[in-house]
Amino acid sequence: MAREPLRPGIVAVLAAGLTVALAPAPRQDDAAGMQAYAPVTDARLREPHPGDWLMYRRTYDGWGYSPLDQITAENVADLVPTWVFRTGIRDGALQAAPIVTGNTMFVTTAEQVIALEADSGVLLWRYERSLPSDLRRPHPTNRGVALYDDKVYVGTLDAHVVALRATTGEVVWERAWTTTA
């Protein structure tokens, strides 16, 4: 029986899972035993914890590298997959870097924001955007999310900005992009 090849988006999430699994951030549990979500602040964006990847290229200066040192030239060949998550999309690919804060990883597809436990790949929540059937989109892509305070912000293919509660995926507010003449 032939195995289905991994799609680029799955490989990106898998690679992020490998990295995070080898170097998890310190765990802070809340009263229910779940890892607490630490709101993203200006200070955290300026100086992210070594295990966090809070924005594209990780830091404002676009450094693009992790200061973690568990993966080295000597042990990289020993890496093995720790988990795989399938987004359910068949067309398109994941084109945005996963965003990680603590043990929460956010990935996007053209119509979804997905929150996962970074160390296990367990689905925490999924936001799915219903798009108009007559929407014309030359390339179904989403370039990722932004985190601030206790919210996840995403731009949608139908020209909206949606703010989601980071811990549940609940829509907090939504605004349509409009032009004024």
Residue 3 lies in a domain: no
Find the helix or strand (DSSP H, E) in which 16 lies. helix 8-22
Given a contact cutoff of 8 angstroms between Cβ atoms, the answer to whether 151 and 169 are in contact is no
- Model confidence pLDDT, tens digit, residues 16-38: 444 444 444 444 544 444 468 99
User: 119, 94, 120: which is closest to 107 by C-alpha?
Assistant: 94
Residue 135 lies in a domain: yes
Q: Give the domain extent around 51.
A: 8-176
Positive or negative torsion for Cα 90, 85, 167, 154: negative
The CA distance from 146 to 170, in Å, is 16
Length of the chain counted residue by residue: 181
- Model confidence pLDDT, tens digit, residues 96-129: 899 999 999 999 998 899 999 999 999 999 999 9
**Total count of domains within the chain:** 1
Q: Tell me the whole-structure pTM to 2 decimals.
A: 0.79
Amino acid sitting at position 128: E
CATH number (domain holding residue 109): 2.40.128.630
